[in-house]
Amino acid sequence: MSEKKFRSGFVSIVGRPNVGKSTLLNRILGEKLMITSDKPQTTRNRIKGIHNVPGGQIVFIDTPGIHRAKSRLNKFMVEEALSSVQGVDLILFLVDGAVDPEKESGMIKEVLSGVDAPVILVLNKIDLIPKGELLGRMSCYGDTYPFKEIIPVSAGTGDGVEQLVKLVHGLLPEGPCYFPDDILTDVPERFIVAEIVREKIFRLTHDEVPYSTAVVVDSFKERENGVVAISATINVERESQKGIIIGKKGDMLKRIGTQSRQEIERLLDTKVFLELFVRVSGEWSDNSRMLKEFGYE
């Protein structure tokens, strides 16, 4: 009896903003690794999530949402997403199942033009699709592009996700174990900490403030008593945004800090002392030097 082959490879998750890419990856990993919110353009960088299955390893790449970019930051985000469809073994193209397929066809054809890797269309949020419309929508997408498969899922409830993972694993080539089997991502803890703080800003503030925010971890040290002391700076573009982040008598900054600290403690499994500062870095999202400083170029 022949030995079962080990399959592994890199799988890019792409799609418009707010279609559930990060939620799907968190669901697959069984851990909250990617930040999420109900606002579009939450994810800014490509982030690898490593998922081990019996007989294989899947390296998922979460990407920023594809949108019409104006600022340097947005252009960086779109370039991150578009470049991720090259040099991978498989692509998951995520769409919002509640959106009319005809509105997505042009973007799908544009993004996948010249792509060599097989593509699975993942029809997300099927819990929001009226009964009786699912098969029609799948058929409509099938006329758009020669997808390897079209899989309906709900990243929010987990419906169909296990089937998707099994399909992905079966389509990967024979390969090595790229990462140790006890890690979830290749990004450093400092990066994840900064993302957690940024997520809390997304969830607790409104309007343009989250999009004008960049978080930089200035120091990350473990003390002799085991407490991890973290200092981070929240960069915004205008004084008015700084006022919103700080809040009346520092109330908003305290809420951001408390919720961030609690999640970071769960991540690190230890006590955390978190100190947050707010700085105005005028128009940083259109400044190439600052973008590089903040890790976006």
20 known member of a binding site? yes
127 known member of a binding site? yes
pLDDT average, residue stretch 241-257: 94
- The pLDDT of residue 213: 87
Residue spans of the domains in the chain: they are: 7-170, 189-294
Question: What tens digit of pLDDT does each residue of 2-22 get?
Answer: 467 899 999 999 888 888 888
Average pLDDT, the chain: 86
15 known member of a binding site? yes
Work out the percent of the chain whose per-residue pLDDT is above 70: 86
- The pLDDT of residue 1: 41
- The pLDDT of residue 38: 58
Per-residue tokens: 176: 């090595």
Count the Cβ atoms, other than its own, within 10 Å of residue 76.
Answer: 20
30 known member of a binding site? no
CATH superfamily of 7-170: P-loop containing nucleotide triphosphate hydrolases (3.40.50.300)
170 known member of a binding site? no
- The pLDDT of residue 16: 85
- The pLDDT of residue 187: 81
The Cα-based distances of 93 to 81, 97, 142, 149, 169 in angstroms read: 11, 12, 13, 11, 16
125 known member of a binding site? yes
Give 183's pLDDT tier (boundaries 50, 70, 90): confident
44 known member of a binding site? no
285 known member of a binding site? no
- The pLDDT of residue 82: 62
Question: Three-state SS for 224?
Answer: coil
pLDDT average, residue stretch 133-152: 92
Per-residue tokens: 5: 């082959």
pLDDT at 240 over 60: yes
pLDDT at 27 over 80: yes
143 known member of a binding site? no
Assigned fold of 189-294: GMP Synthetase; Chain A, domain 3 (3.30.300)
Closest CA to 168 of 9, 4, 2, 6: 9
Q: Which of 66-80, 162-176, 184-198, 256-270 has the lowest mean pLDDT?
A: 66-80
17 known member of a binding site? yes
Q: Which residues pair with 236 in a beta bridge?
A: 280
16 known member of a binding site? yes
Strands (E), the chain: 7-15, 47-53, 56-62, 90-96, 119-124, 149-152, 214-222, 228-236, 272-280
